[in-house]
Amino acid sequence: MQSKIDLSDTIRILLVEDDDAYAMLIGRMLKRAKIGKFSVERVDSQQSAFERLPKGDIDLVLLDLHLPDTNGLATLDSFINKEYDVPIVILTSLNDEITGIKALQKGAQDYIIKSDINEELLIRSIRYSIERYNLISELKRNTKALEASEERFRIITEQNADAIVVVDDERIVRFVNPTAEKVFNRSADEFIGKQFDFSSEYGVETDIEVSSDGENSTILECRANRIKWQDRDAILMTLRDVTERKQVEKMKDEVISIVSHEIRGPLTSIINSLSLIIDGETGDIPEPTKKMIEIAYRNSERLLRLTNDMLDIRKIESGKMEFNYQVLEVMPLIEQAIEANRSYADQFKVRIRLENTIPDAKIKTDSDRFIQILTNLLTNAAKFSPPEDEIIVSVSRNKGFLRISVKDHGPGIPEEFQNRIFSKFAQFTAQGARRKGGSGLGLSISKMLVENLGGSIGFETKPNEGTTFYFDLPEYQE
């Protein structure tokens, strides 16, 4: 079937007619058409029409209802049942207009009374039927698509665990899903079409900045987005009951804090005792025992670092870490961090060299956190430097920021790991990497700290040549 009539196209008619003379008459009329071209293929029974139609390339069927193998409206029924997706125009005899009308009701596009036929009437009926059929088909397709999309919307909203409410720009409720009915303890009828003040009734702020998350005095978390609802501006609110999540978060916080504090005390005491034994304060110990105790000491230290790191992460993430800001000269802070890490670097036979200074440079920062960040970069650089090598620390000014860089000549960071390096517990696990010890939390903590201090952190690396980690903090201006 044609999708739209183009006057230069030939309209292909299947004429289902057993009367030879009448078939010739119709053929002749269509041949003489002044506008457009028609081709007519004729079959003389229902059976042969059913054989021809599935092959396609037919734009319209002109159907005589009285055929050798079928008769009356049943003929049309069987054509329609076949669902050939082609418009049908009925040819009826004189005095049989009732049948014609019934045929229209059953789905034929038009009917022509055989004795009244003339060229003009026939062509107009054909064209009109094709156009009408196309329009109806398009409407059916659109309706189906709309129904499918409404069905999808219904399923999604009905089964959504979040409360969904649509209010228009006059704050009139246009839609609520079943979860919203439950959460607000009202039926949809009590909401829809009514102006509703979610703010005063439930503490839900509907004027919250659209596209952002908001919280409110009920235990609900609200997200609002501007949408079009039946051609009107509206706000789609998604409200989530976060009571349970908050309770879980709170419990998690408590567990982590209790466990960490309970671990830290005894662990520190173990470390101190082991260190006394190793230093010979408790008397001589045989060399093999000393070696075992040194292993225990190193692992206890590692456990303490991990515990501290986890506490730090929790504190920063929950916004509970306190920053004690002071305006300080940056060089003494850098020197302090270097001194604090020299003995750690010694373990790896690595030196730390400060390449340059900017004596007057100041930053407004928390000194402990600054040293913690730099310590992490220095210990990583020491761990990954080749023995007898040096780590170079430098400081530079750039567009209002001070950049502190730590350069090593280690193995570099593999490309596939680079975008994960600041994620929690990220460690490159290739041969050798894990043996360096560490929690995989250091860089993620450093990143969070630097960002809290108003700066940013980054690195440059080349495989087999080395890595430079740096962080930028705003330089303090009087």
CB of 52 or CB of 383, closer to ligand ADP: 383
**Which of 224, 197, 200, 221 has the alpha carbon at shortest distance from 210?**
224
Residues 6+ apart with CB under 8 A from 139: none
Residues 6+ apart with CB under 8 A from 476: 327, 362, 363, 364
CB of 335 or CB of 460, closer to ligand ADP: 460
CB of 337 or CB of 421, closer to ligand ADP: 421
Shortest Cβ distance from residue 169 to ligand ADP (Å)? 49
Place of tokens 């919280």: 215
Distance CA 52, CA 48 (A): 6
Shortest Cβ distance from residue 287 to ligand ADP (Å)? 30
Shortest Cβ distance from residue 413 to ligand ADP (Å)? 5
Count Cβ neighbours within 10 Å for each residue of 211-226 and write b for 16 or more, e otherwise.
Answer: eeebebebebbbbbee
Beta 401-408 vs 466-474: how paired, if at all? antiparallel
Shortest Cβ distance from residue 423 to ligand ADP (Å)? 9
Shortest Cβ distance from residue 294 to ligand ADP (Å)? 20
CB of 239 or CB of 393, closer to ligand ADP: 393
CB of 293 or CB of 433, closer to ligand ADP: 433
DSSP 396: E
**Which of 410, 367, 365 has the alpha carbon at shortest distance from 392?**
410
Shortest Cβ distance from residue 462 to ligand ADP (Å)? 11
Place of tokens 């909401």: 191
- Three-state DSSP at 244 gives helix
Contact footprint for ligand ADP (CB under 6 A) = 376, 380-381, 384, 408, 410-411, 413, 421, 426-428, 433, 438-444, 467
Beta 60-64 vs 88-92: how paired, if at all? parallel
CB of 177 or CB of 380, closer to ligand ADP: 380
Shortest Cβ distance from residue 380 to ligand ADP (Å)? 3
CB of 81 or CB of 464, closer to ligand ADP: 464
